[in-house]
């Protein structure tokens, strides 16, 4: 099962549909990013490998801040 598939499944379940999701992937093509953020997957953010720990922390903080508003 791909990360996109997992994301879609989580979005379909009542208990996890609002769960913040950050996709971490090597797929950096524009189309891949669009699918990750798209209606079916609905990721809160998309991080392409390789990434720095600082970038990860920044992205997690941004997703959590968006959840609070």
pLDDT at 63 over 90: yes
CA 28-56-33 angle, to 5 degrees, is 25
Q: State the CATH number of the domain containing residue 38.
A: 3.40.50.2300
pLDDT for residue 29: 84
Full residue range of the structural domain in which residue 12 is found: 3-68
Given this model, what pLDDT does residue 41 score?
A: 82
Residue 57 pLDDT: 96
The per-residue pLDDT for range 9-54, each reduced to its tens digit, is 999 999 999 999 999 988 888 888 888 888 678 888 999 999 999 9
Q: How many domains does the chain have?
A: 1
């Amino acid at each position: 099962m791909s990360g996109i598939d997992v994301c879609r499944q989580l979005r379909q379940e009542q208990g996890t549909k609002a769960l913040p999701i950050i996709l971490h992937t090597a797929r950096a093509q524009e189309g891949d990013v669009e699918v990750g953020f798209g209606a079916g997957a609905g990721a809160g953010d998309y991080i392409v490998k390789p990434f720095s720990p600082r970038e990860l922390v920044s992205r997690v903080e941004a997703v959590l801040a968006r959840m609070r508003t």
